[in-house]
């Protein structure tokens, strides 16, 4: 994880107890990209022996939250980041640990400019999730907003 953003993983583990409870690891976090890992745990598996869909979604959504926090942490005093909607496609059964790579869909400067202009900006973050064999298993997009604080 980059030194200047090493606080992102710790902050998320502290403020979102589920993140720590399932053991999500923050491998890399930048304002454009986050790489998170969910270790394989038999207690988190589904009926076919792979990670439960809730775990797959959870690590992907958490990766988008890490990008959001890294990219827009400086706006937290005036806006609250919130997920608005998501779309997920489970492409194949995952096996073993999961790696989620989330990438911000547009420049953070554009989003901040919209916020400063009085809008409630939305921005998409695309995620690719691979399994322990490095196979793409899931694709998702989470759209976030910066809701101005009142």
In this predicted model, what pLDDT tens digit does every residue of 28-41 receive, in sequence order?
A: 999 999 999 999 99
CB 34 within 8 A of CB 70: yes
pLDDT at position 4, please? 74
Q: Which of 66, 107, 101 is nearest to 83 (CA)?
A: 66
| Count of residues in the chain | 150
The predicted model gives 112-123 an average pLDDT of 97
Q: Which of 26, 20, 23 is nearest to 6 (CA)?
A: 26
The predicted model gives 72-78 an average pLDDT of 95
How buried is residue 4: exposed, middle or buried, by Cβ count under 10 Å (0-12/13-18/19+)? Answer: exposed
| pTM of the full structure | 0.95
The predicted model gives 65-82 an average pLDDT of 96
CATH superfamily of 3-148: Hotdog Thioesterase (3.10.129.10)
Taking the CA atoms of 82, 88, 90 and 91 in sequence, report the sign of the dihedral they define.
Answer: negative
Which of the four pLDDT bands, split at 50, 70 and 90, describes residue 2?
very low
């Amino acid at each position: 994880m980059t030194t200047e953003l090493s606080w992102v993983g710790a902050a998320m583990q502290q403020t979102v107890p589920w993140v720590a409870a399932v053991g999500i690891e923050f491998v890399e976090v930048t304002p454009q990209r986050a790489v998170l890992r969910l270790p394989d745990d038999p207690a988190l598996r589904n009926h076919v022996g792979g990670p439960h869909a809730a775990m797959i979604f959870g690590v992907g959504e958490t990766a988008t939250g890490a990008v959001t926090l890294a990219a827009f942490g400086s706006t937290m005093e005036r806006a609250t980041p919130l997920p608005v909607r998501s779309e997920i496609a489970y492409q194949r059964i995952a096996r073993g640990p999961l790696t989620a790579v989330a990438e911000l869909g547009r420049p953070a400067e554009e989003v901040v400019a919209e916020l400063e202009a009085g809008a409630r900006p939305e921005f998409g973050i695309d995620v690719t999730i691979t399994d322990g064999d490095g196979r793409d298993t899931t694709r998702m997009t989470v759209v976030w907003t910066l809701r101005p604080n009142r």
